[in-house]
Amino acid sequence: MGKWWIIAALGALVVGGGVLALVLTGVWPGPSEADRQRARLLLVTAEEQNNGGDQDAALQSLTNSIALAPQVEALRLRASIYVARGEFDGAERDLDQLVSGRGRSALAADYSLRCWLRARGDQLDRARDDCDRALEIDPALASAFGNRGLVGLRQRWYRDAWEDFNAALQNGGSDEWVAWRVFGRGAAAYGQGRLVEGRQDIETALRTRPAVAVEFAQFGIGADFMREFDDAAFEAATRRPSLITFQQYLYVHPNGEHVGVARSHIETIRARIEDEIAAGRRAIPGFSLAQDRGPGAADSFGAIAISRSGWRVAFATDYGNPSEAQLAAATACGAACDAFAFRNVCAGLALSPSSRARGMAWAYGEDNAVDGAVGECYRNGGRDCAPVHVQCTPTPSREESTPAAVPH
């Protein structure tokens, strides 16, 4: 009898320990209904904050919501914000939690995105498993085909990679990732020794979007054959000359044959902008410019403030949310000024002194922002529009190029 009492006691101890572990980890008894309601409200708040451009506040709301009661939508949104900010480990952790949760609530797109995240490192077999699972759920998901093609390139499974990129093109239609998929298919053809076909796809992709090579270079793909495409990349940059196209060429080909010429083009464009802005300011009586720079942020906001009655202008950059940037610009401008926020771009301002018209434009390059502002000024009725200032947020280095996009 003593033996059975010992066994029973040990069983009770095991059960009790299991219950204690569940309590300590929050699995049991689980969130209360009040916690679930509060979590849902925080998720709605986070969606509004994210749509308004305040990622920091959205992340805090999502973290609080998930701590109360993990919701699939909250994990998915936080993962997408992490990806946009380049915080890939955090995004993968959220997707791990989402995929492993109860109720089989993960979507094909969730597995496809985790496939892409895992393809960045050494988890290539697990990445392929995720893309396979995404295609089981949605056999026509273009992103899953494309991301599995990326995995194939990294694994040197070039035939399979070509098939996947080709399927991505067939299923993706004419969306924004066409150039990315064409480049991937070209890389896969090149890897198989189909050089003419590969060159044709790669050159087509580079003509459409020169920065596509940067996106693949993040995964260690293309450095070998891109040396052979130096001339093609430079020709694509000169076909639509701008700061961005030449900066992208320098980013992809830092030791290319045309580096000196590309730098010369950049200096010429910058000199042209400076001359036009100096002339514009001289043409406006009483023009004044104030500038303010914030502490800096990964997701960067700036603002333009313009006087309603005079020619006072202020630019603020490098703030963590739009309201801070607008307040800083309005304060620097003075009384009776209107402030307009911009995010992670360059902002240009053009004025017409004779008709009091103005034009503002946002672009990734200072020259495009200046040209866009002048055009907008004329469309607003200006007769003698000239640029008066351009500024980017975050404040770039002289040779900083445009960050690559994330295909998913």
pLDDT tens digit string along 160-191? 999 999 999 999 988 889 999 999 999 999 99
CA atoms within 13 A on the CB side of 45: 16
Residue 360 lies in a domain: yes
CA dihedral (49, 51, 52, 55) positive or negative: positive
Whole-angstrom distance, CA of residue 189 vs CA of residue 206: 16
Residue 387 lies in a domain: yes
Task: Show the tokens assigned to 104.
Answer: 């089989």
Task: Show the tokens assigned to 319.
Answer: 């703030």
Reported pTM:
0.57
Whole-angstrom distance, CA of residue 179 vs CA of residue 209: 6
| φ, ψ for residue 359, nearest 5 deg | -140, 135
Max CA-CA distance within the chain? Answer: 105
Whole-angstrom distance, CA of residue 151 vs CA of residue 5: 57
Residue 258 lies in a domain: no
Residue 200 lies in a domain: no
Residue 370 lies in a domain: yes
Strand partners, 359: 350
3-state secondary structure labels for all residues of the chain? CHHHHHHHHHHHHHHHHHHHHHHHHCCCCCCCHHHHHHHHHHHHHHHHHHHCCCHHHHHHHHHHHHHHCCCHHHHHHHHHHHHHCCCHHHHHHHHHHHHHCCCCCCCHHHHHHHHHHHHCCCCHHHHHHHHHHHHHHCCCCHHHHHHHHHHHHHHCCHHHHHHHHHHHHHHHCCCCCHHHHHHHHHHHHHHCCCHHHHHHHHHHHHHHCCCHHHHHHCCCCCHHHHHHHHHHHHHHHHHCCCHHHHHHHHHHCCCCCCHHHHHHHHHHHHHHHHHHHHHHHHCCCCCEEEEEECCCCCCCEEEEEEECCCCEEEEEEEECCHHHHHHHHHHHHCCCEEEEEEECCEEEEEEECCCCEEEEEEECCHHHHHHHHHHHHHHCCCCCCEEEEEEECCCCCCCCCCCCCCCC
Each residue's pLDDT tens digit in the chain (408 positions)?
455 555 544 454 444 444 444 444 444 556 788 888 888 888 998 898 888 888 889 899 999 988 988 888 999 999 999 998 889 999 999 999 999 876 568 899 999 999 999 999 889 999 999 999 999 999 999 999 999 999 999 999 999 999 999 999 999 988 889 999 999 999 999 999 999 999 899 988 887 887 788 889 889 998 778 877 788 788 888 988 999 999 888 877 777 789 999 999 999 999 999 999 999 999 999 999 999 999 998 889 999 999 998 899 999 999 999 999 999 999 999 989 999 999 999 999 999 999 889 999 999 899 999 999 999 999 999 999 999 999 999 998 654 443 334 444
Residue 166 lies in a domain: no
| φ, ψ for residue 258, nearest 5 deg | -110, 15
Strand partners, 360: 349
Residues 6 or more apart whose Cβ sits within 8 Å of residue 13: none
The number of folded domains in the chain is: 1
CA angle 390-86-118, nearest 5°? 150
Residue 173 lies in a domain: no
Residue 45 lies in a domain: no
Query: Residue 369 is part of which domain span?
Result: 286-392
358 and 234 Cβ atoms separated by less than 8 Å: no
